[in-house]
Amino acid sequence: MQANLFDGDQPSSQAIKHPIGNAELLEYPQIFCRAKADQMLKTLIADIPWQQEHLKIAGKLRAIPRLQCWMGDSMSEYGYSGVRLSPQPWNETVKTIHERVADLSGSTFNSVLINFYRNGQDSVAWHADDEAELGAAPVIASVSLGAERIFELKQKHQVPAKKYKLSLRHASLLIMAGTMQQHWLHQLPKEKALAEARINLTFRNIVSD
């Protein structure tokens, strides 16, 4: 049967440029058809070696509210807030996603941080992806699979700080680039009533010294 162009399930290479001034924020609303994205979500939940990381907060070790996996080329060791992560080898589904992302963004990436939000109780707090090993103006390509979640941004240095909000949909790609990490923080807040899972893959390039 021929696909219906208007059935709302057409992967597209068209990007929406979000107007947030001094940084680059590009959204590709759907980069895979729904069936393929559904399959990828299932496969990744089952196959990725998920880890529960902990952070020391006020002297106590606390589990972070999501599961994670750091994946990439063997040299791409990565760290944040005192956590050191050695990369897992590339998984076939992640390689397929990387190829599509590289095609659309014109950039290749040597690593990816994969987050598994089991439901709306899982989240990531305000931060910028501004670790030294990502370089001064990193291109970060963020693919979402599963439950649609709100993604919030706020300016780091401005008073009052401007805020910006968007919805990250199943099979979408968001590219943060330019001075985004220098000037803005981002977070994925909890959505307590949400029961569905989401996976996010942020492709990154670790710069070696």
Binding site for ligand AKG (CB under 6 A): 113, 115, 124, 129, 142, 151, 168, 186, 188, 200, 202
Rounded-to-integer distance, Cα 87 and Cα 73, Å: 7
Smallest distance, ligand AKG to C-beta of residue 202, A = 5
Closest CB 154 distance from ligand AKG, rounded Å: 13
H or E stretch including 4? Answer: none
Residue among 81, 48, 47, 77 nearest 64 (CA):
81
Rounded to whole angstroms, the Cα distance separating 94 from 203 reads: 10
Least distance in Å: CB of 174 to ligand AKG? 7
Name which of Mn ion, ligand AKG, none residue 142 binds, using a CB cut-off of 5 to 8 Å depending on partner kind. ligand AKG
User: 10 or 57: whose CB is closer to ligand AKG?
Assistant: 57
SS (H, E, C) 150-182: EEEEEECCCCCCCEEEEEECCCEEEEEECCHHH
Q: In this complex, which beta carbon is closest to ligand AKG, that of residue 2 or of residue 77? A: 77
Which lies closer to ligand AKG via its Cβ, residue 25 or residue 188? 188
Helical packing angle, 92-105 and 34-47, nearest 10°: 130
177, two tokens: 């680039």
Nearer to ligand AKG, 109 or 151 (CB): 151
CB 166 within 8 A of CB 175: no
Shortest distance, CB of residue 186 to Mn ion, whole angstroms? 6
Query: Quick check: 131 binds Mn ion (CB under 5 A)?
Result: no
Tell me which residues touch Mn ion (CB under 5 A).
Answer: 129
